[in-house]
Amino acid sequence: MLLLEKPYVSDFLEKTAIDMKIPVLENEYISDITQSRNLYLLAEDAFLSMTKKQNPLKLYCNSENAINWIIENLSHTNIPQYIDFCKDKVKFRQMIKPLYPDFFFQEVEFNDIKKLDITSLKKPFIIKPAIGFFSIGVYKVTKDAEWAEIVALLMRDIEMAEGLYPKEVMNSSKFIIEECIDGEEFAIDAYYNSAGEPVILNILKHPFSSDTDVSDRIYYTSKEIILENLEKCSDTLKKIGTIAGLSNFPIHAEVRIDKEGKVTPIEFNPMRFAGWCVTDIAYFAYGINTYEYYFKNKEPEWNDILQGKDGNVFSLVLIDFPKGLQAENIKSFDYNAISARFSKVLALRKIDFQKYPVFAFLFIETRADSNELEMALKMNYEEYVSKIVQ
């Protein structure tokens, strides 16, 4: 069963829902989807009735905007409890503390941030909303002298994000301060099956342009990334799933892996795979339709899937707003010019930048020795923006 919500539903997800005849809740957002007449739509009463009959219940959301509806309507299931475990980063840290007993974290109220004395806190540390999304309000603090500027930036971010997402997705009332985790960052699309076993559908590496960068600009996957990390990531997901009692549950996990191979979770994002439907990169890279695999309880045959993928890198490039740019000052964006900077574009998904601070999501294929990802990490997108003359 599907809950489709803002901000974005890909044509790929929509076609999957139509082809598989997956029941979809008929809500206000559905009217904005071009082919919605072909979806297997159910009114709320019928949809709720079906959730009580399906055993096991397999539910997927393209967006965490649907979380409030789940909490209000699905108390007869374990799903609201699962969401609560994952979505609140403070509760998540408390839940997994038996696995990471020495990990430092601290809750702080939004109204207390400006008067917070950080001189005694070990640095570097990360501050972010306890309930957040899309790296909004996330900052790395390396020294005391940075704090005043970071607080100002954080306040600006929260003000800009006001109204973009429901409070169940983005809530600035409380924040979490936590130690920086050593290692390289990875994102994992996976689901827990009926037996509570994790099934990994993709692993993406998340590089950064500098030590202070916390953006979501690039994620990429490859045969080498899958093979090097599949076993250790599966083991970590299994341990966390056992503590939380997860089953029939899709997640998008973010972790760091250090030089010794230790996997430490950053966060678990509930009810979905990679946001804004960028989980579809698994199909471009490996022919894996993550939605189909979840609903049909399929597991990737990685040995077969990865044949012939040596040296190929499949990437998602987020074309986001340059710092300080406001939507009301933008006339247009040159999508053709940005696409021409990359050797092989698999897909370009344009986003309504008047509604969200994103121009597009670009899916590309490169070779491992290409410098295109390094270029994209440091690229200034402002040169592709045509501004309104004031």
d(CA 25, CA 1): 8
pLDDT of res. 82: 93
Helix count (H) and strand count (E) of the chain?
Answer: 12, 18
Question: What phi-psi label fits residue 199: left (phi over 0), alpha (psi between -120 and 50 degrees) or beta?
Answer: beta
What's the one-letter identity of residue 62?
N
Asked if the model's pLDDT at residue 314 lies above 70, the reply is yes
pLDDT of res. 62: 95
Q: Which two tokens stand for residue 120?
A: 């005694």
How do residues 338-381 score in pLDDT, each as one tens digit?
999 999 999 999 999 988 889 999 999 999 999 999 999 888 89
In order of their start, the domains of the chain are 88-179 (3.30.1490.20), 184-387 (3.30.470.20)
pTM of this prediction? 0.88
Identify whether the C-beta of residue 150 lies closer than 8 Å to the C-beta of residue 126. Answer: no
How do residues 128-179 score in pLDDT, each as one tens digit?
887 655 567 788 888 888 888 888 888 777 776 665 554 444 456 778 899 9
User: H or E stretch including 147?
Assistant: helix 147-161
Q: How confident is the model at residue 34 (pLDDT cuts 50, 70, 90)?
A: low
> In this structure, what DSSP letter does residue 42 have?
E
